[in-house]
Amino acid sequence: MQYNWDFHSVWQYRDLFLYGLGISVVYTFGSIFFGVILGFVTCAARLSRFRVFNWIGRIYQEIFRCSPLLVQLLWFYYAFPLLIGVNIDNRFAAMLTLSLYVGAFYAEIFRGGIVSIDKGQREAAAAIGMSPFQSMRCIILPQALKRVLPSFINQSVIQFKNTSLVSVISVADLAYMAAVVNGQTYRPLESYTVMAVLYIVVLLPLMQAADWFEKRLRVSD
């Protein structure tokens, strides 16, 4: 069977693709921003000497790491409003869910980086009169951040691809717009090929830049 490609009919809707791509980028960087905040707070809770904080952080992490993102999106958009008695806008539900999801993974990445630093360095810092906060800020975190950078970048790339799931709650991201174009043109192969190419066009330069930055950090060590 020979298929006749027809990108011309799909190209007429390029504005929809670009709009959807912009929405995907906004949700990616927005959820990464809030996720980093949640990740640091949860990481601090997991490393706290107070067991109640440790358990709260652990429960949050396990809930969001052990359930599919798609299920979480559906739950926050359709089920959560029934609990609180207030309707939630689909865009807010998408950002909330994406942020909570990636924050759980960031927290474990940050925690792993911090605990990987030898305890002797904390003891040495205390011996010269540094407070635990000063030790963390000046000695532990700079080293930990270098170690967690590859994992952080990888999770952030995954997060960009995860935004394609918000289309199930009618957020007009790239995947949603590809479905709209397909509905208008009845050209699924071309519509979803364009979508895939746009994801690659955005991610490939970012991955190359990340690899270059990681190599620079290794050289600086």
Instruction: Spell out the domains of the chain, with CATH numbers in brackets.
Output: 7-220 (1.10.3720.10)
Token pair recorded at residue 19: 């709009």
pLDDT per residue as tens digits for the range 58-77: 999 999 999 999 999 999 99
> Taking a C-beta distance cutoff of 8 angstroms, is the pair 35, 103 a contact?
yes
Full-model pTM:
0.90
CA distances from 24 to 30, 36, 114, 152 (A): 10, 18, 31, 19
Q: Is the pLDDT of residue 199 over 70?
A: yes
- pLDDT confidence band for 1 (50 / 70 / 90): low
Q: Which of the two residues, 92 and 206, has the higher pLDDT score?
A: 92
Q: Write out the E strands in 9-127.
A: none
pLDDT per residue as tens digits for the range 143-176: 888 888 888 988 999 999 999 999 999 999 999 9
